[in-house]
Structures are given as C-alpha cells and as structure tokens.
C-alpha cells in the first residue's frame, strides 16, 4: 500500500513540461544542447531536471566530466516520455483533421426548384469548407419530405409546412407570397381591368399537393371561399412544370411572386387579381430532434442555419441582379 500511495502522488503531481525537458536532454545528451533547443537558459534546464529527479526520488542522469549517460531509472522515464509525447502528437493531428476534414455523407430532401442564390452560395461555401462530405439532394413533394424526416429517413428536409409536425425542429428559410397568374396563350393574358368575378369560371393548373389538400391547402381554401367553379385540369409536383402548363394556357394558377418576375418581364406570364395575392407559404429547414447524427450531418445543419441567418427574409427573396455575396448572387424560389 505505501508504494501504491507514493505512485499515485507522483502521477498526480507530475509536471508534463518536465518530461518534455528531460526528453530533449536525453536527445541532445547535453544540458547546454537542450537549453539551446528549448530556447531557455542552462540554469532553467538544470532546475527542471532536478525537480523531475526529486519527484521520482531517483537520479536519472549520471555526469562525470565528459561522460553523459542515463541511469536505469532515466531509461524508464525516457521510454515513458517518448510514448507520451508521441501520443500527444497523434492526438493533435487527429483533432486537426477532425476540424478541417469532416468526412461523411448527408442526404437532404428538397421541395421542387429551390432556385435561390442564397441557397447556391451556401453550397459553394459548404463544399469549400468540407470537400470530403458527400452530398445527395433528392427532390420530392413537401408532404413526403415531412413524412420521411419524421421517420428519421434523411439528414434534413427543405419543405413547405403549414403546421410544424411533432418531434421536428425547424428553421425558417423563405417567406413566400403566392399569387394568381395566367400564361401568354390564355384568353385573360394582357387584360389589365380584370376583377375577381372575371376569374371565377376559369380552370386551374395546380401543384399536386394542392390538389390533394395537403401542404398548399390554403390555395384550395381560397378557391372555395371565392366561389371558383372551374376545375383543376393539370397538375405537377414541380414548380417549373406548373409554370410550363400555365404558359401553355391550360388555365390559371398560383406561383410564388418572386419566382416568376423574369417571366413577367419577358411576357410569358400575366399577374391576375387579387392585388394582395392569394396566400403565404413558408419554406423551412426541417430535421428530427431525436435522430442520431454523424459529424457530417451536424456540420451541415450548423452551417446551413448560420448561413441563412446572415440575411433577412426579404433579402433572401431579392433577385440575383440586386444583391451579391462575394461572387454569388442572391435570389430565392421554393415550391412544392
């Protein structure tokens, strides 16, 4: 027991800097040489050696004139010090690699056509910072995204949500206003004196989720409340295909206002009443609060939230030509 208590006291009091000094003394086979390498005085090296010998209660070095050698106890201390500093060096390298080279795979589900310069700038920045993270982006309807994230089937989702599901964490990405439009081949195109009564008999082009009274159900509620008598004649779960059908003249339909400004300017779409728009729909980053996450998944979530928080909701909707971040423009569109 006395020996065990003594060993415990030594390990508790041992100064690792003294081991480092002793390691250099042994390597240089000289007090003066160690002093030069450590950039300290010979006196400081001698004092460190003496303190280490006092802690172990053993002489560690024998010096007689020009003769310099380690005692048996010194050999043991040298072997231990060499192992310790080798482990420390390996630990430092591992920590550095973990910070700078996160490795892994992320699977992100996204609503159709998030055409966003804020979003594009995020991916450019993320890839530069974490080039070894493999990314899979999968497009699907918002209702499916929510179900899969609830089942912990993906890293995260970017989707429209009317009510936040249980067990899902969220961060608001885009606040969108949906308005009614018709295309260049529709009979209402170009008419500026239209009222809501002029629209009531028109057929609709719709998002699939809208037709199912799901994520975009406010559009269905709007049609019912206003007394529209037309039917849904064409649907798609993708923003660009809904727009294509509108341009082709299948009917009238809703799209996020900021997403079609270029089409309005180019004469492919025409804005219809009501002036205030039809409804608002928010696009969220979603993730399951209890899901086990890899280092790559944690890095993605932290980076995405930090990136979008740099901009106000209004800034995220500005056209690319009106705002820049470094070499990346800022604009935003999300549907589905």
pLDDT, tens digit (0-9, with 9 covering 90-100), for 127-136 = 999 999 999 9
- Strand partners for 280: 177
Q: How many Cβ atoms sit within 10 Å of the Cβ of residue 145?
A: 28
Per-residue pLDDT at 77 = 86
Per-residue pLDDT at 213 = 43
> Which pLDDT band, with edges at 50, 70 and 90, does 258 fall under?
confident
Mean pLDDT of 13-40: 84
Instruction: Note the Cα 139 to chain centre separation in Å.
Output: 18
Per-residue pLDDT at 150 = 92
Dist CA 69 CA 227 (whole Å): 100
Dist CA 202 CA 254 (whole Å): 13
CB 333 within 8 A of CB 263: no
Dist CA 52 CA 101 (whole Å): 39
For the chain, give the mean pLDDT. Answer: 83
Mean pLDDT of 309-314: 88
Instruction: State the Rg of the chain over Cα.
Output: 34
CB 104 within 8 A of CB 297: yes
* β-strand pairing of 279-288 with 156-160: antiparallel
Per-residue pLDDT at 30 = 84
Mean pLDDT of 30-39: 86
Instruction: Give residue-wise pLDDT tens across range 148-203.
Output: 999 999 999 999 887 888 889 999 998 888 899 999 999 999 999 999 999 999 99
Q: How is residue 187 annotated by DSSP?
A: T
Per-residue pLDDT at 124 = 93
Per-residue pLDDT at 311 = 86
* β-strand pairing of 204-207 with 232-236: parallel
Per-residue pLDDT at 310 = 92
Per-residue pLDDT at 217 = 65
Q: Which residue has the tokens 């231990």?
A: 80
CB 336 within 8 A of CB 110: no
55: nearest Cα among 25, 19, 81 = 19
Cα 70 to Cα 63, 64, 89, 214: the distances in Å are: 9, 12, 25, 80
| Residue range(s) occupied by CATH 3.40.190.290 in the chain | 104-336
CB 157 within 8 A of CB 109: yes
CB 254 within 8 A of CB 236: no
Segment (H or E) for 236: strand 232-236
- Among 38-42, 177-181, 235-239, 331-335, the range of highest mean pLDDT: 177-181
DSSP H helices in the chain: 2-13, 16-28, 31-38, 42-56, 72-100, 117-129, 142-150, 208-211, 217-226, 239-247, 261-265, 295-308
CB 289 within 8 A of CB 190: no
Q: What percentage of the chain has pLDDT greater than the value 70?
A: 83
Task: Give the CATH class of 2-99.
Answer: mainly alpha
Instruction: Give residue-wise pLDDT tens across range 44-92.
Output: 888 988 888 888 888 888 877 667 788 888 888 888 888 887 777 666 6
| Residue range(s) occupied by CATH 1.10.10.10 in the chain | 2-99
- Among 108-117, 270-279, 315-324, the range of highest mean pLDDT: 270-279
Dist CA 40 CA 33 (whole Å): 10
Task: Give the CATH class of 104-336.
Answer: alpha beta
* Dihedral (Cα; 64, 68, 69, 70), 10-degree rounding: 90
> Which pLDDT band, with edges at 50, 70 and 90, does 334 fall under?
low
Cα 172 to Cα 70, 270, 284, 310: the distances in Å are: 67, 29, 5, 13
- Among 107-111, 228-232, 236-240, the range of highest mean pLDDT: 107-111
Dist CA 27 CA 100 (whole Å): 33
Mean pLDDT of 278-306: 92
CB 106 within 8 A of CB 317: no
Per-residue pLDDT at 34 = 85
Q: What percentage of the chain has pLDDT greater than the value 90?
A: 38
Residues 6+ apart with CB under 8 A from 228: 199, 200, 201, 202, 204
Count how many residues are written for the chain: 336
Which tokens sit at 286? 């979603």
23: nearest Cα among 86, 81, 73 = 81
Dist CA 327 CA 323 (whole Å): 11
Mean pLDDT of 15-34: 85
């Amino acid at each position: 027991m006395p020996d065990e208590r003594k060993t415990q006291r030594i390990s508790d009091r041992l100064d690792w800097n003294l081991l480092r000094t002793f390691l250099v003394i042994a390597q240089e086979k000289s007090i003066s040489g160690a002093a030069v390498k450590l950039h300290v005085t010979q006196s400081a090296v001698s004092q460190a050696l003496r303190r280490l010998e006092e802690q172990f209660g053993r002489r560690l070095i024998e010096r007689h004139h020009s003769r310099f050698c380690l005692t048996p106890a010194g050999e043991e201390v040298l072997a231990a010090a060499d192992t310790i500093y080798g482990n420390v060096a390996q630990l430092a390298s591992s920590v550095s690699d973990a910070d700078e080279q996160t490795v892994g795979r992320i699977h992100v589900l996204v609503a159709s056509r998030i055409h966003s310069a804020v979003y594009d700038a995020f991916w450019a920045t993320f890839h530069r910072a974490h080039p070894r993270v493999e990314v899979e982006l999968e497009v699907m309807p918002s209702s499916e995204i929510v179900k899969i994230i609830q089942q912990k089937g993906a890293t995260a989702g970017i989707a429209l949500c009317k009510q936040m599901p249980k067990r899902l964490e969220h961060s608001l990405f885009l606040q969108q206003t949906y308005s009614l439009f018709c295309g260049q081949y529709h009979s209402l195109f170009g008419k500026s004196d239209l009222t809501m009564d002029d629209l009531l008999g028109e057929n609709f082009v719709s998002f699939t989720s809208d037709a199912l009274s799901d994520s975009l159900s406010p559009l269905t509620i709007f049609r019912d409340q206003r007394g529209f008598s037309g039917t849904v004649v064409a649907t798609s779960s993708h923003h660009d295909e809904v727009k294509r059908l509108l341009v082709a003249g299948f009917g009238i339909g809703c799209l996020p206002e900021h997403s079609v400004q270029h089409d309005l300017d180019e004469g492919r779409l025409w804005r219809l009443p009501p002036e205030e728009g039809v409804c608002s729909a928010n696009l969220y980053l979603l993730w399951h609060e209890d899901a086990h996450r890899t280092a790559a998944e944690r890095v993605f979530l932290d980076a995405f939230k930090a990136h979008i928080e740099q901009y106000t909701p209004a800034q995220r909707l500005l056209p690319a030509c009106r705002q820049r971040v470094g070499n990346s423009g800022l604009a935003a569109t999300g549907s589905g």
